[in-house]
Amino acid sequence: MTTDTMRIFLDTADVATIHDAYSTGIIDGITTNPTLIMKSGRRPTDVYDELADMGIRDISMEVVEPTAVGMVREANKLIEKFGEVATIKVPCTKAGLQACRELANNNVRVNVTLIFSPSQAILAAKAGATYVSPFVGRVDDNSFGGLCLIKDIVNIYQQQSWFQTEVLAASIRNVRDVGRAFEYGANICTIPPNVFEGMYNHILTDKGLELFDEAWKCVEATTVT
């Protein structure tokens, strides 16, 4: 399938924060999970309603039922309410991948989350996942290379000419890892708001602006005299 590359999703359920970031025109989608929804203190569907009204066309909505049948039932309710803006998020478990296969067969976008190994990414791809979400930060926490996992999954998909599934780098905790994830071939990075804001900042940019301001003041002073 043909897709845009180097997309940025925001990983939060804070609607006000999302509104500010989405208004920049840079954010391409939103990922949520039960923890983020809980932090928002709101009902999931209320959050999704506001995001859809904002014009966001790709919102990962995680299902929480433990069985494949339950996940599909929950997913169908979300699809019925939110239509094409809904990407159904399932865990990389037997039940999750069974649900993924059934949903994918019905042309539903599925984000398979909690990916920690290339073998899991292979299974998710075979199950018809639209996105696989390797958890960079959590892999790093367990003394493995989170960015190396991104690279390994991308290499496998490329070697096998598998383009139906995109790599969505998740659990990213710093600005540097955004650049490295894209360097290693991730199609999408989903990042928390603080990392998104941090991408704008660089000490040399600040210094450059300071020098420009000083130069402009000199120009104005010369013009006045």
- Whether the CB-CB separation of 39 and 63 falls below 8 Å is answered with no
Considering only CA atoms, which of 149, 141, 142 is closest in space to residue 180? 149
- Interior/surface letters 164-194, b for 16+ CB within 10 angstroms, e for the rest: ebbbbbbbbbebebbebbbebbbbbbbbbee
Q: Angle at the Cα of 84 (from 81 to 85), degrees rounded to 5?
A: 80
CA distance 32 to 17: 13
Phi-psi region of 202 (alpha: psi -120 to 50; beta: other; left: phi over 0): beta
Phi-psi region of 144 (alpha: psi -120 to 50; beta: other; left: phi over 0): beta
Residue tagged active-site, from 39, 77, 81, 89: 89
77 is an active site residue: no
Give the catalytic positions in this structure: 89
